[in-house]
Structure 1
Amino acid sequence: MRVTLKDIANAAGVSMMTVSNVVNGNHARVSAETVDRVQRIVAELGYVPSASARSLAARTSRLVGLLVPAADEDSLTLSPHNTAILGQIERELRKRGYHLLLRGIADPAEVPEALRSWSLDGAILLGFLDEEIDRLSRGALGRVPVLAIDSYSGNPLTTGVRSDDFTGARLATTHLIALGHRAILFAGPAFTDVGVVHERFRGFRAALADAAIEWDESLVETANTTHEDGVALGARLPGSHPHATAVFATADILAIGVMEGLARAGVPVPAAVSVVGFDDLDLSAYVTPKLTTVAQDLAGKAANAVDLLLAAVRHGKRPSAAVTLDVRLVERESTARVPAG
């Protein structure tokens, strides 16, 4: 059975108010001897404070929601990148005494309901399209602070944290150009004129322009950010793009799939085709060949997101501009000089 304050008070021969003061660190009106006795009994009985009771007393749930898209009512959309971010966010919240609630959202219209239903102190949006974030209004969100990760939305209610996607793609493409590649395929999800993939495409194009390489618009392949789509793309690449000597994929999981598809088609990486990804997830160092990629600061992204959100929760201080984190190129084994001839 759960140990209560009353149990401790009876065992210590003091009032419940005294026990409450000791447990909550209010020792000014309690003698040192009583503090020691109560703390000893707390340890002996294994008392654990009720999180819900503390929340009611403090008028805060200490719950932060991580809202992610759900493809339908039965599944969440969690890429390897988003899974890694989830773990980092949970750790940062736990260090600050908050708890994480993961909630799938099948329709962005469900966001206000999620905020109210769980009495969330704040929420982080991860993986939503910028046009979906654009539609969130103050009337819908109420007074609950909301922050978006990896968003280029102009909605001031959701200003958050992202990586320097433009520079990352530029670094990756410049690296391939320095190795002599000119026919470089851009592979990533369909995109509009705003968002993460759009920024990476702009960086890709900027690197080509820097090197005075004329862009061939046929060297773009639309593929979802999945291993399966990457395998399919890699397998058909020798037939659909026989002159391509390199691939820049907008995510590691897609790049790894491309390498597997190329291997199935009998095309060696990097001897015949070089491949670069984006994220620097752990698995990029486990595959063969090890993946050259653009590293994001996932820990920094999570820490900044939590700091910004809790500043809004505690002080009503919303960020005036998005925090953009630096990226770097990590050279491994999946890229090499362009094949002779």
Structure 2
Amino acid sequence: MAVTLKDIAEEANVTLMTVSNVINGRHAKASQATIDKVLGIADRLGYVPSAAARSLASNSSRIIGVFVHDPGNGNVLKDPYTASMVGAIEPALRRHGYHLLLQGIPDPADIPAAFRAWNLDGAIFLGFLDSTLRPMAGNLGKPLVAMESYTQQPEFINVRLDDRDGGYQATKHLLDNGHRAIAFAGHLTAERAVNRERFEGYKLALEEAGLPVDESFLFDAHNSHSAGISVGRLLKEQRPEVTAVFATADLIAIGIMEGLATCGLNVPNDVSVVGFDDLDIATYISPKLTTVAQDLQAKAAAAVELLMDRLKEPAKEIADRVLGVQLVQRESVRRLAR
């Protein structure tokens, strides 16, 4: 049977209110001897405070929502990037004494209800469009962090990468290896500024090299393995002159490699490929994928740190956090003879 405050009060020969005050850190009305006595008995009896009771007493649930946009496949952790990001956020929250509530969100209109139902202290948003976040600004009244976002809403703290530099580094690496016919694969028609910024980096590198952007080298691809396979096949069928491709996500890049293979082409001998994210899977395939790496642990730590800052000082103005990226060279890029 669970130990209660009443059990501790009876053994300590003090009132229930005294025990409650001591256990919940309200020590002003108790002597140090009483505090030591109550805490000693609680420890010896193995008392575990009720999270629900402490939530009611402090008006804080110690729960942070992690909301993931659910495009409709019913498995928000199917994407390896999302799974890795959630896995990095959870221990960062735990170190601050908070719990994680993970919820897939097909309809953003459901988010306020989730806040009320769980009495959330704050939330981190993954995979949402800036236009989706905009209507929620000012309506939730709690600290909010948006990952991979460029939203200008002051209620949200943004944590993102230097996406433009990542696109630049990837394309510049291909240029430095002698490639000139370089394709781009990413969700060009999407609203997500992340994709636009990576595309801007691609364009900047080509511009510095004196090369125009050939629109026939641009392939619109959702962030998925299957979309990459389609791009790989289209490269063979429609643009055989392309010698290299920059993909805005590792999943797309790996799909491209498979699509090229089904057409009898070899990476990197026939086509070089560079991805973005540096997921674990990038090292499981053959050839191992050259990619733009991001530090997921640092990204998660930054999101949680900024959320904690806002919890401590709600009126404090907190700047967005932009993390750098770094190209990781592996085996999927071939140097062309000049």
Indicate conservation of the 8 Å contact 2:64/2:98, yes or no. yes
Q: CA deviation at 1:276?
A: 0.6
- Are 2:257 and 1:262 aligned? no
1:228 corresponds to? 226
TM-score (norm 1): 0.90
Q: CA deviation at 1:44?
A: 4.3
Q: CA deviation at 1:164?
A: 0.2
Instruction: Report the Cα distance in structure 1 between the residues aligned to 2:73 and 2:115, rounded to whole angstroms.
Output: 18
Question: What secondary structure, in the 3-state scheme, does the structure 1 residue paired with 2:90 have?
Answer: helix
Q: CA deviation at 1:91?
A: 1.1
1:216 corresponds to? 214
Deviation by residue 1:76-107 (Cα, 9 ceiling, x = unmatched): 37522222111111111110011111112112
Question: What secondary structure, in the 3-state scheme, does the structure 2 residue paired with 1:324 have?
Answer: strand
User: AA paired with 2:271?
Assistant: V
1:299-318 paired onto structure 2 within 5 Å: 299-317=297-315
Indicate conservation of the 8 Å contact 2:129/2:192, yes or no. no
Q: CA deviation at 1:302?
A: 1.2
Deviation by residue 1:146-174 (Cα, 9 ceiling, x = unmatched): 22111112222223110000001100100
> What's the % identity of the aligned pairs?
50
Instruction: Report the Cα distance in structure 1 between the residues aligned to 2:134 and 2:78, rounded to whole angstroms.
Output: 21
Q: CA deviation at 1:246?
A: 0.8
TM-score (norm 2): 0.91
Instruction: Report the Cα distance in structure 2 between the residues aligned to 1:193 and 1:279, rounded to whole angstroms.
Output: 19
Q: CA deviation at 1:122?
A: 0.9
Instruction: Report the Cα distance in structure 2 between the residues aligned to 1:188 and 1:145, rounded to whole angstroms.
Output: 32
Deviates more, 1:17-26 or 1:328-337: 17-26
1:277 to 270, 275, 299: 275
Question: What secondary structure, in the 3-state scheme, does the structure 1 residue paired with 2:216 have?
Answer: coil
Deviates more, 1:303-312 or 1:270-279: 303-312
Instruction: Report the Cα distance in structure 2 between the residues aligned to 1:290 and 1:268, rounded to whole angstroms.
Output: 13
Q: Tell me how large the CA RMSD over aligned residues is.
A: 2.3
Q: CA deviation at 1:319?
A: 4.3
Question: What secondary structure, in the 3-state scheme, does the structure 2 residue paired with 1:67 have?
Answer: strand
- Are 2:76 and 1:76 aligned? yes
Question: What secondary structure, in the 3-state scheme, does the structure 1 residue paired with 2:136 have?
Answer: coil
Instruction: Report the Cα distance in structure 2 between the residues aligned to 1:291 and 1:250, rounded to whole angstroms.
Output: 13
User: AA paired with 1:302?
Assistant: A
Instruction: Report the Cα distance in structure 2 between the residues aligned to 1:306 and 1:181, rounded to whole angstroms.
Output: 41
Gaps of 5+ in 1: none
Instruction: Report the Cα distance in structure 1 between the residues aligned to 2:210 and 2:147, rounded to whole angstroms.
Output: 34
- Are 2:304 and 1:330 aligned? no
User: AA paired with 1:65?
Assistant: G
1:172 to 166, 170, 173: 170
Instruction: Report the Cα distance in structure 2 between the residues aligned to 1:75 and 1:128, rounded to whole angstroms.
Output: 16
Indicate conservation of the 8 Å contact 1:189/1:224, yes or no. yes
Indicate conservation of the 8 Å contact 1:223/1:229, yes or no. yes
